[in-house]
Amino acid sequence: MNRRREIDLGLGILDHQLVDVGGRRCGKVDDLELEGVADGPPTVSAILCGPPAWQGRGRLGRLAARLARGRLVRVPWTEVEEVKAGVELRRTARELRLGAGDERARSLIEWIPGAGG
Amino acid sequence: MKNLLGVALGILAAIGGFVDIGDLVFNVQAGATFGYRLLWVVPVGVVGIIVYSEMCGRVAAVAERSVFDAIRERLGFSVGLGALVASQIVNFMTLAAEVGGLAIALQLLAGLEFHLLAAVAVLALGVVIWVLPFEWIERLFGYMGLCLLVFAVAAIKLHPDWSAVAEGFVPRTPPSDVLVYGYFVVGLLGAALTPYEVYFYSSGGIEEGWTPKDLGLNRANAIIGYALGGFLSLALMITAGALFLPNGIDPELLGTVALGAEVPLGTVGLVLALIGITFAVGGAAIDTCFSGAYNLAQFFGWEWGKNRPPATAPRFTIAWIVLLILALLVTMTGIDPVMLTEYAVIFSVVALPLTYLPLLLVANDRAYMGQHTNGRVANAFGFVYFVVILVVALTAIPLMVLTNQGQG
C-alpha cells in the first residue's frame, strides 16, 4: 500500500475477497492481526484466513470454526499489493499457502473429460 | 445493429426464463381461487424484482461485488453466515421443486416411469451444464420456454370478461376470505421476487466483466426482460380465472396447469404448454443449482465461475454437482413438488430482507459506488420495496399457518 488513503478496517478490509497475483480468488479476510494496541497507534500486521479465524467472529463464527476443517493461514500485511474490489496480493496463492481447499478438491473432478485447466 | 440483435435475443431468453415453478403454481392457484382479483399483485412484484435486480447488477458492474460478497462485507461473518444458511435452505427447496416439476412435465409428455424420468432429467441437466457454454444454455432454455406464450393465446381464446380483468389491476377489498386473499398476495409477491434469479444475474454480470459502461444494458435487461416475463404470469392467472374458477377446478397438480392450454387449443396447446413448462422449469433448475454454488463460493472466498474450466474452480463445481444430486434424491422420495414449491416461495419471502438490505446499503455507499450510488428514483423504489418486503416477510408464515396454505 503505497498511496495514502483512509480505509475503514471493519468495512473496508475485513471479510473482503483475497485475490492472488494471478487473479485467482483464494479466500476471504477472515480476521486481522493488529500490533501495538497497548503502545500508541496500532498497525495491521497480518491478514488471517481459514476456519480457525472464524473463532473470533461471533456466535455463529465460533460454531462454524468448530465444524469446519482447515488450517489458519497468516498473510503478512507486507504481501498486500493493493486494496481494490478485492485485497490484491503480491504472490501466488500457493506460495502464500492460500486456497488449499480448492487444490484438494481439484483432484476429485479433474479426471472428468472436459474439466480442463 | 449486431449489438441490438444481441440485446433483443437476450431479452427473448429472459422472457422465457422468467417463469419458474413458483410462478406456475401461485399464478394459477390465485386465478383458480380469486379469478382476476389478484392481477394487480403481478406488476407490484415485477417492479420489485426489477428494482432489486437493477441494483445488484449495478453493484456488480461498478463495485465488482456479487450479492454474497456484499452481504458478507456488510453484515460480517456471523450474521452473514445466518443469511447464507437461510438462503441456501430456500434455494435448495426451490431447486428440488423445479427438478420434481421437470420430472412431472416429462412424465406427462413421455408417459414413462416417474423415477426413471427424474434420473434421466437430472443427468441431462448435468451434461448440458458441463458441455454447453453459458450463453447457449440461457438461450436454449429461454427460447423453448417461450412456448409458454401458448397461455397468452389460451387466455384470449377463453374469452374472459375483459372489464373484470381490467378491474383486477386495481386492489380492492376481497370478497370473503381476507386471510386466504392475503396468503395469495404474499405468495404472488414471493413468486415474482425470486432471490435466486438475482444472485444468478449479478454473478453473471461479474463473469461477463461488466463495467460502468454496461449500466444501460443492465437497466434495459432488468426492466424489459422482467416486465415482459410478468406478462406470462398475467396470462397464466387469466387462463386460470377464466377456466378453473367457473368450473370449480382446484389445480393441485402441475398437470392441471397444462389443462388451461388444452381446453381452448386442443392437443397442440397441451403439448406446447408441457414443452414450455419443461424448459422453463428445467432452466430454473439450472439457475437455482448455480445460485447455490455461487453463494457458497462467494461467501467463503472460493474461486468460482461457469465461464472457466471446471477444474479451475473445483469447490464451486463440486457444489453444483452435489446440489443437483441431492435435489434428485429429494425428488425420488416422491414428495409433491407443488407443496414443496409453496413452502419454498413462502420461506424465501421470509429470508428476503436479509439479502435485500445489505445490497440496498451497498448501492447507497459512495465508497463502493462512487458517482453511481442510487439516484432519487432508485432510492425511493428501493426503500418502499424494503418496507413491502419487511411486511410480507413478517406476515408470510402466520398467513400460511392460519389459512392452511391457502386452503381456507
Q: Judge whether residue B1 has pLDDT over 60.
A: no
**C-alpha cell belonging to residue B94:** 426451490
A7 → chain B, closest CA residue? B367
**C-alpha cell belonging to residue B175:** 370478497
**C-alpha cell belonging to residue A108:** 476429485
Is B15 within the bounds of a domain? no
**Which of B69, B78, B127, B321 to probe by mutation at the A interface, max A CB count within 10 Å?**
B78
Name all domains of chain A by residue range, CATH numbers in brackets. Answer: 9-109 (2.30.30.240)
Work out the burial of residue B202: count CB atoms within 10 Å of its CB; fewer than 13 is exposed, 13-18 middle, 19 or more buried.
Answer: buried
- Give CA–CA dist B56/A33, Å, rounded: 32
**Which of B315, B316, B322, B361 to probe by mutation at the A interface, max A CB count within 10 Å?**
B315
Average pLDDT, chain B: 92
- What part of A 52-111 touches B (C-beta under 8 Å)? 54, 57-61, 64, 84-86, 99, 101-103, 105-106, 108-110
- A58–B131 CB contact, under 8 Å: no
- Give CA–CA dist A5/A2, Å, rounded: 9
- Average pLDDT score over residue span B86-105: 96
Confidence of residue B349 (pLDDT cuts 50, 70, 90): very high
Is B181 within the bounds of a domain? yes
- Average pLDDT score over residue span B53-66: 94
Confidence (pLDDT) at A10? 79
Is B6 within the bounds of a domain? no
Confidence (pLDDT) at A2? 47
B81 contact residues in A (CB cutoff 8 A)? 60-61, 64
Report the share of chain B in percent with pLDDT over 90.
78
Give chain A's length.
Answer: 117
B46-50, B123-127, B226-230: which has the minimum mean pLDDT? B226-230
Q: Judge whether residue B37 has pLDDT over 70.
A: yes
More confident call, B138 vs B240? B240
More confident call, B225 vs B292? B292
Q: How many CB pairs under 8 A join A and B?
A: 99
Give chain B's length.
Answer: 408
DSSP assignment string, A7-46: --IIIIITTPEEE-TTS-EEEE--EEEEE-SSSSS-EEEE
Confidence (pLDDT) at B13? 67
Q: What is the CATH number of the domain that holds B283?
A: 1.20.1740.10
Q: Judge whether residue A81 has pLDDT over 90.
A: yes
A106 contact residues in B (CB cutoff 8 A)? 311, 314
- Give CA–CA dist B86/B88, Å, rounded: 6
- Give CA–CA dist B25/B252, Å, rounded: 8
| Out of A24, A58, A109, closest to residue B317 by CB | A109
Q: Would you say A47 and A87 are in contact if contact means Cβ atoms under 8 Å apart?
A: yes
- B77–A57 CB contact, under 8 Å: yes
- Give CA–CA dist B79/B81, Å, rounded: 5
Q: Judge whether residue B186 has pLDDT over 60.
A: yes
Is B2 within the bounds of a domain? no
Domain count, chain B: 1
A11 contact residues in B (CB cutoff 8 A)? 73-74, 367
Please tell me the distance in Å from B54's CA to the nearest CA on chain A. 19
Strands of A87-89's sheet in order across = A25-28, A17-19, A87-89, A80-83
- Average pLDDT score over residue span B112-131: 94
Is B12 within the bounds of a domain? no
Confidence of residue B14 (pLDDT cuts 50, 70, 90): confident
Three-point CA angle B402, B406, B408, nearest 5°: 65
- B73–A114 CB contact, under 8 Å: no
- Give CA–CA dist B296/B304, Å, rounded: 9
**C-alpha cell belonging to residue B400:** 400460511
Confidence (pLDDT) at A117? 62
Phi, psi of B55 (to 5 degrees): -65, -45
Three-point CA angle B397, B194, B379, nearest 5°: 95
Prediction pTM value: 0.94
Is B5 within the bounds of a domain? no
B368 → chain A, closest CA residue? A85
| Out of A11, A58, A85, closest to residue B77 by CB | A58
- Average pLDDT score over residue span A84-100: 95
A17 contact residues in B (CB cutoff 8 A)? 69, 301
- Average pLDDT score over residue span A88-103: 95
Give the domain extent around B278: 20-402
- Give CA–CA dist B222/B50, Å, rounded: 5
Is B3 within the bounds of a domain? no
Is B223 within the bounds of a domain? yes
Indicate the residue type of B266.
G
Confidence (pLDDT) at B406? 82
Q: Judge whether residue A7 has pLDDT over 70.
A: yes
ipTM entry: 0.94
- B301–A11 CB contact, under 8 Å: no
Spatial neighbors of A34 by CB under 8 A, at least 6 apart, are A42, A43, A44, A45
Confidence (pLDDT) at B6? 65
- Average pLDDT score over residue span B333-347: 94
Confidence of residue B357 (pLDDT cuts 50, 70, 90): very high
- Average pLDDT score over residue span B241-258: 91
Phi, psi of B35 (to 5 degrees): 60, -130
| Out of A8, A16, A110, closest to residue B311 by CB | A110
Confidence (pLDDT) at B34? 93
Residue-wise pLDDT for A15-60, tens only, equals 999 999 999 999 999 999 999 888 888 889 999 999 999 999 999 9
A74-88, B246-260, B282-296: which has the minimum mean pLDDT? B246-260
Closest C-alpha among B308, B20, B313, B291 to residue B142: B20
Confidence (pLDDT) at A12? 85
| Out of A54, A61, A102, closest to residue B302 by CB | A102
